[in-house]
């Protein structure tokens, strides 16, 4: 083989591997794009327990230092707003923060030691009982315990 034909063969080989590399790159890129489109569609069509809210973590945990004594904090428990109230050093209450009237978020009133719904002036005590206003039933109550400087919230 002469020098020119060797160069032609080398060029053919490197051109072929370049083509292969481009083909593989296009294939991988297409797979990524298709995966990005198909995955959300499949997730929507075939929801898992987690995506429909059945597989949430049963116990919520937070540092006790996040809530100063006398105050409250809205947290997300089981994909819904809950209110955690720290009345005294180790006295913690946890309730659903969703008003049973029309679903507004209740607020803690430290001076009155009760929960107030700003939408239609619904009022609840620390046990979720209705004290006044239009709410037809009590707030859901959760079990709140303190373990090693952490507040744990669970279903009752
Ligand atoms: S939504 Fe709470 S009182 Fe109406």
Best residue among 115, 120, 128 to mutate for probing ligand 1's pocket (most ligand atoms within 8 Å of CB) is: 120
Per-residue pLDDT for 92 more than 50?
Answer: yes
- And the tokens for 12? 């053919």
For residues 20-54, one letter each, b for 16 or more C-beta atoms within 10 angstroms of the residue's C-beta and e for the rest, the string is eeeeeeeeeeeeeeeeeeeeeeeeeeeeeeeeeee
Best residue among 96, 100, 104 to mutate for probing ligand 1's pocket (most ligand atoms within 8 Å of CB) is: 104
Spans of all domains in the chain: 1-46, 60-155
Q: Is 134 touching ligand 1 by the criterion CB < 6 Å?
A: yes
Q: What's domain 60-155's superfamily in CATH?
A: Rieske [2Fe-2S] iron-sulphur domain (2.102.10.10)
- Record the pTM: 0.65
Q: Is 16 exposed, middle or buried (0-12, 13-18, 19+ CB in 10 A)?
A: exposed
Per-residue pLDDT for 3 more than 70?
Answer: no
Q: Is 122 touching ligand 1 by the criterion CB < 6 Å?
A: yes
- Asked if 122 and 133 touch (Cβ cutoff 8 Å), the reply is yes
Question: 98 C-alpha to center of ligand 1: Å?
Answer: 9
Per-residue pLDDT for 52 more than 50?
Answer: no
């Amino acid at each position: 083989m002469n020098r020119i034909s060797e160069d032609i063969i080398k060029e053919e080989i490197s051109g072929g591997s370049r083509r292969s590399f481009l083909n593989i790159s296009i294939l991988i890129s297409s797979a990524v794009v298709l995966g990005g489109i198909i995955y959300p569609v499949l997730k929507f069509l075939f929801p898992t327990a987690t995506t429909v809210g059945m597989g949430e973590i049963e116990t919520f945990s937070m540092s006790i230092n996040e809530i100063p004594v006398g105050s409250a904090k809205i947290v997300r428990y089981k994909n819904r707003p809950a209110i955690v109230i720290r009345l005294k050093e180790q006295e913690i209450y946890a309730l659903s923060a969703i008003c049973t009237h029309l679903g507004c978020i209740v607020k803690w009133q430290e001076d009155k030691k009760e929960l107030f719904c700003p939408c239609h002036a619904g009022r609840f005590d620390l046990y979720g009982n209705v004290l006044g206003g239009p709410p037809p039933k009590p707030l859901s109550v959760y079990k709140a315990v303190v373990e090693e400087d952490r507040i744990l919230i669970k279903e009752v």
